[in-house]
Homo-oligomer: A and B are copies of this chain.
Amino acid sequence: MANKLATTSLLAAVLLALAAPSLAGDPDMLQDICVADYKSLQGPLRLNGFPCKRPENVTADDFFSNALASPGSTCNALGSAVTPADVRTLPGLNTLGVSVSRIDYAPWGVNPPHVHPRATEVIFVLQGSLDVGFVAATATGGSRRPPRNSGGSPAAVLSAFDSQLPGTQPVAEALFGASPPVPTDVLARSFQVDGGLVEAIRSNFPPK
């Protein structure tokens, strides 16, 4: 046991590799239990967040998920996989203002710079060894190490958020894969490169 977790480390990072902290926005708990009622998505009213299942329909399974038990597939360009357990898949989290994600890394895999617009984050290393850091709004100081698997074996972390739905916005994809697109000249001027290069990068992020 001791061996297995010997490389476990804990990092308190507001945002991995990019952004400044934002405050969680889940302040509402007005009753004991408000298990998310997913069926409401078919109804006429779409709430900010989820309404509650009727108490008589709540079951123990509403509070349980095994989605994080197995590693996600890291066979992709980034060599990483994010598996969230948030209010969209674990209905018992509704109104609780807390959630977790599992991130798996292939050797040398990268979880690209991103922001969580509605949450702060703390990371627990489940396996392996990682370089992790964040960039404060001043763009100076504050980072420890960059965000990637720093070893030759798979790695995994558990991220805890102070929001039931933290949201995730990978920065490169947001800039170059948005639809409708951010205009070429805006990106060119922002990165201080020419428009051809912007177009070349954009071709890496086809609209979904």
A contact set with B: CB distance below 8 Å: 1-2, 4-14, 17-34, 37, 40, 43-49, 51-55, 58, 60, 63-71, 77-79, 85, 90, 92-100, 108, 110, 112-113, 115, 117-122, 124, 126-127, 131, 133, 135-148, 154, 156, 158, 160-165, 167-180, 182-183, 185-187, 189-193, 197, 200-201, 204-205, 207-208
Q: Report A199 CB to chain B, min CB distance, Å.
A: 12
**Docked complex Cα distance between A82 and B40 (Å):** 36
Given contacts A8-B66, A23-B27, A45-B51, contact A192 B182 (CB under 8 A): no
**Contact pick for A97, options B13, B120, B131, B170, CB 8 Å:** B120
A183 with B148: CB separation less than 8 A: yes
A186 with B147: CB separation less than 8 A: yes
Given contacts A8-B68, A48-B95, A126-B126, contact A208 B140 (CB under 8 A): yes
**Docked complex Cα distance between A25 and B11 (Å):** 22
Q: How many copies does the complex hold?
A: 6
| Residues on B with beta carbons closer than 8 Å to the beta carbon of A146 | 182-183, 186
**Docked complex Cα distance between A193 and B145 (Å):** 21
A180 with B48: CB separation less than 8 A: no
B99 with A2: CB separation less than 8 A: no
A23 with B97: CB separation less than 8 A: yes
**Docked complex Cα distance between A124 and B100 (Å):** 8
**Contact pick for A55, options B5, B90, B141, B163, CB 8 Å:** B141
**Contact pick for A68, options B44, B124, B179, B186, CB 8 Å:** B124
